[in-house]
Homo-oligomer: A and B are copies of this chain.
C-alpha cells in the first residue's frame, strides 16, 4: 500500500488536514480547491496538492477535492475508523481534563478506565467511570482489551509505571510525564512535553524582541 511510503512530515500534517476538512464538512461544504484550503490553512496550495496526492486520485482538476471522501480517507489512514480503548493513569487535574475531553470519544477513543494511587480519590467517579487503585491496572488492561494508556503522573513514577503497562501488553502510551520512556519494540509512544513547548514559546518571545532592537 502506498501509504507505508509516506514521510513522517506528511503524517504529522494529516491531523491538521483532518481538522479543517471536518469543519468544512460540518459547514456543509462538499468540494474545495487546493487554493481555498491554502487560504484557510496558511499553507501553500502546492504543498497541499503534494501532500494530498500521496493518497492518490482525491483531487480532480477544475473540481477540487471531495471534502467528505478526503475526510473519511484521512481518518482511515489515521486509524480513526477503528475503536481504541484508553485508560488514564493519574486522576489529578490533567487526567480529569483528558477524561472530560469529549472529542476523543467521537474519534473512536473510548475512555475505559482511570487509575490513581491516592486513596482519597479511588472510588470516585469521573464521567461515570470509577477511579481504581493502581494494583488493578495490569489485570484491567488484559480483561478490557485496552490499547492506549495515558500517563499523567509525575516523572518519578512514570518509568516504573510504563514498565508495568508494557509488561501488561499495552500497545501505546500517550506520555504527559516529563521524561522520555524506554519501551520495547512495537510499543508506540507519543510524548506531550509541556515544558518543552513553553520553552519554545519563551524562545520565540526573546527572538522577536532581539530582532526589534
Contacts and interface: CB of A to CB of B under 8 A. Distances in A.
A200 B15 contact: yes
B147 A12 contact: no
Most buried by B among A41, A77, A109, A190: A190
Interface string A90-114: 0011101110110110011100000
Contacts of A101: 194
A205 B94 contact: no
Interface stretch (A24-32, A79-87, A137-145): A79-87
Nearest to A98: B194
Q: How large is the interface on A (under 10, 10 to 19, 20 to 34, 35 or more residues)?
A: 35 or more
B201 A190 contact: yes
Contacts of A172: 201, 204-205
B197 A192 contact: yes
A193 B190 CA distance: 13
A174 B199 contact: no
A19 B178 contact: yes
A186 interface: yes
Nearest to A147: B205
A178 B171 CA distance: 26
B198 A109 contact: yes
A157 to B, nearest CB: 15
Interface string A187-213: 010101111111111111111101100
A197 B204 contact: no
A210 B96 contact: no
